[in-house]
Amino acid sequence: MSPAKEAAAEQAPILTLDGISKSFDLGKGKTLEAITGVSFGVSRNEICVILGPSGCGKSTVLRMMAGLETPTSGDLMLEGRHIDGPGRDRGMVFQAYTSFDWMSVRRNVEFGMKINGVPASERRDRADHYIRLVGLTKFADAYPTQLSGGMRQRVAIARTLANGPELLLMDEPFGALDAETRWHMQELLVEIAESTRTTIVMVTHDIEEAIFLADKIVFMSRHPGRVKCEIVPEFKNGKRITEKEKVIDLDGYSEIERQIMRLMREEGAKD
């Protein structure tokens, strides 16, 4: 492929959401329109952050990408295939710690691969590779209850990545962590995105986290959730910077932060 064609292929979305709406049946004839007409695309290797006020439907959108929820109308496509259920091409990391407490870190990371039929000899090497990537080599034989919250989330990330997903989906993965651990985890995620070239869609309502991590922010408005705007943090010049203070120091950071704060306030004023 020529360099120009390669660049175009990089830009073309691998994941597309086309006019997605979702109504939940609340019983007794009542329905709740959670999201309506949500359309956007995610390019290969992109870190796309979905940001918006509580209840605007961020988790609903992510769960649809994971195939855990079906849209009432509209279509989701990944690499030209319709998403109609969960699949190995997608991995999800949740806010709550989801490791198995009775298995060591290594066994936890190996577990998903075992389910997916990866041979035992290969599982061990792959587990060790991803445990190293998230900086837990010394704790490979420890049990999740012996780890801090940040370390447990690193186990979840290693376990998900070990399955080799094309798309890593994360729903407020650092929401339960203290500020310092959260900041280290954000930096680790940028490093992982760079080294594994995995496409990532992450949900957060933390503005600073969104600006630091995102190649593109999809801002959702509330009730029923829709895409209010897409924001590309141009001030990063398309570069991934792993030190957070360097990003905050860049010209243009405060401007985008103010822009998003205004959007959040507009949405908050709707109730």
Ligand X SMILES: Nc1ncnc2c1ncn2[C@@H]1O[C@H](COP(=O)(O)OP(=O)(O)OP(=O)(O)O)[C@@H](O)[C@H]1O
Q: Report the interface residues with ligand X, using CB under 6 A.
A: 24, 32, 34, 52, 54-60, 205
Nearer to Mg ion, 58 or 244 (CB): 58
Closest contact distance (angstroms) between CB of 58 and ligand X is: 4
DSSP 138-192: GGTTS-GGGS-HHHHHHHHHHHHHHT--SEEEEESTTTTS-HHHHHHHHHHHHHH
Closest contact distance (angstroms) between CB of 146 and Mg ion is: 29
CA nearest 126: which of 150, 97, 161?
161
Nearer to ligand X, 31 or 148 (CB): 31
DSSP 17-44: EEEEEEEEEEETTEEEEEEEEEEEEEET
Both tokens assigned to 107: 């066994």
Q: In whole angstroms, what is the distance from residue 33 CA to residue 25 CA? A: 9
Nearer to ligand X, 23 or 242 (CB): 23
Residue 60 contacts Mg ion per CB under 5 A: no
Element (H, E) at 76: strand 73-78
Nearer to ligand X, 38 or 133 (CB): 38
61 three-state secondary structure: helix
Closest contact distance (angstroms) between CB of 61 and ligand X is: 7
Residue 59 contacts Mg ion per CB under 5 A: yes
Q: In whole angstroms, what is the distance from residue 47 CA to residue 271 CA? A: 31
DSSP designation for 225: B
Closest contact distance (angstroms) between CB of 56 and ligand X is: 4
Partner whose binding site includes residue 24, from ligand X, Mg ion, none (CB under 5 to 8 Å by kind): ligand X
Residue 198 contacts Mg ion per CB under 5 A: no
Nearer to ligand X, 27 or 80 (CB): 27
Both tokens assigned to 10: 């990089």
Closest contact distance (angstroms) between CB of 209 and ligand X is: 13
Residue 99 contacts Mg ion per CB under 5 A: no
Q: Which residues bind Mg ion (CB under 5 A)?
A: 59
